[in-house]
């Protein structure tokens, strides 16, 4: 049941996102669209409540409960940026707004951008760990909580791997391509020279 609810929450996230953006930009109802977008966190609250009720009813803590905590953590850590990114694209394509600002591609500016994205993964791991620790405390000695403890490690390993990738942008920053020198030849003749 928990895994099915995670899938429903993920599908619901994208359905609410599409409905909110369509309402904002196609139907020209920005407040109603914002209200739909603000309903998205309710999906995670629902998942959290169902997971807690499942544990309260005596379910043995399992990988499903851990996955629910990691999913909620990921949504907290990265959901806002995803919504903001898609809102910028919808505003441009559907609402006639300016094109969204692209992240930097080169140098330390790209490294800073990747560092900010990595902080989302750290937030996700921290939220997931907090939820898992609460579940472990709630279950107490009544059940085997090893699978929940294992998910804490999974969350921090994912954040660590993402951190190494983000750090690589600082250690080996991409350099901007050099611009071609101006010539008086037309572009079709440059290859012949």
| Mean pLDDT to the nearest integer, 145-150 | 90
What is the pLDDT confidence band of residue 100, given thresholds at 50, 70 and 90? Answer: very high
Q: Is 50 exposed, middle or buried (0-12, 13-18, 19+ CB in 10 A)?
A: middle
pLDDT for the residue numbered 57: 85
- Look at residue 183 and tell me whether its pLDDT is greater than 60: no
pLDDT for the residue numbered 116: 96
C-alpha to C-alpha distance for 54 and 48, rounded to whole angstroms: 10
pLDDT in tens, 12-56: 999 999 999 999 999 999 999 999 999 989 999 999 999 988 888
C-alpha to C-alpha distance for 36 and 18, rounded to whole angstroms: 9
Calculate what percentage of the chain has a pLDDT beyond 90: 72
Which pTM value belongs to this model? 0.83
Crossing angle (nearest 10°) for helices 146-171 and 107-139: 170
- Look at residue 68 and tell me whether its pLDDT is greater than 90: yes
pLDDT for the residue numbered 144: 79
Sign of the Cα torsion 114, 116, 120, 126 reads positive
C-alpha to C-alpha distance for 110 and 145, rounded to whole angstroms: 40
| Mean pLDDT to the nearest integer, 156-172 | 97
Nearest alpha carbon to residue 83 among 13, 35, 30: 13
- Look at residue 180 and tell me whether its pLDDT is greater than 70: no
C-alpha to C-alpha distance for 142 and 156, rounded to whole angstroms: 26
């Amino acid at each position: 049941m928990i895994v099915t609810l995670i899938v429903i929450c993920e599908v619901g996230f994208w359905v609410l996102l599409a409905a909110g953006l369509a309402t904002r930009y196609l139907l020209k109802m920005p407040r109603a669209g914002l209200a739909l977008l603000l309903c998205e966190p309710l999906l995670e609250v629902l998942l959290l409540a169902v997971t807690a009720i499942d544990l309260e009813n005596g379910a043995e803590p399992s990988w499903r409960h851990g996955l629910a905590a990691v999913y909620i953590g990921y949504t907290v850590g990265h959901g806002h940026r995803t919504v903001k990114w898609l809102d910028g694209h919808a505003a441009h394509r559907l609402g006639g707004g300016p094109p969204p600002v692209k992240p930097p591609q080169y140098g330390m500016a790209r490294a800073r951008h990747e560092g900010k994205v990595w902080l989302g993964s750290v937030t996700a791991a921290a939220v997931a760990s907090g939820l898992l620790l609460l579940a472990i405390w709630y279950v107490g000695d009544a059940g085997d909580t090893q699978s929940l403890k294992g998910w804490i490690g999974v969350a921090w390993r994912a954040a660590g791997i993402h951190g190494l990738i983000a750090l690589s942008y600082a250690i080996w920053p991409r350099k901007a391509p050099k611009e071609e020198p101006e010539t008086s030849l037309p572009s079709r003749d440059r290859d012949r020279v």
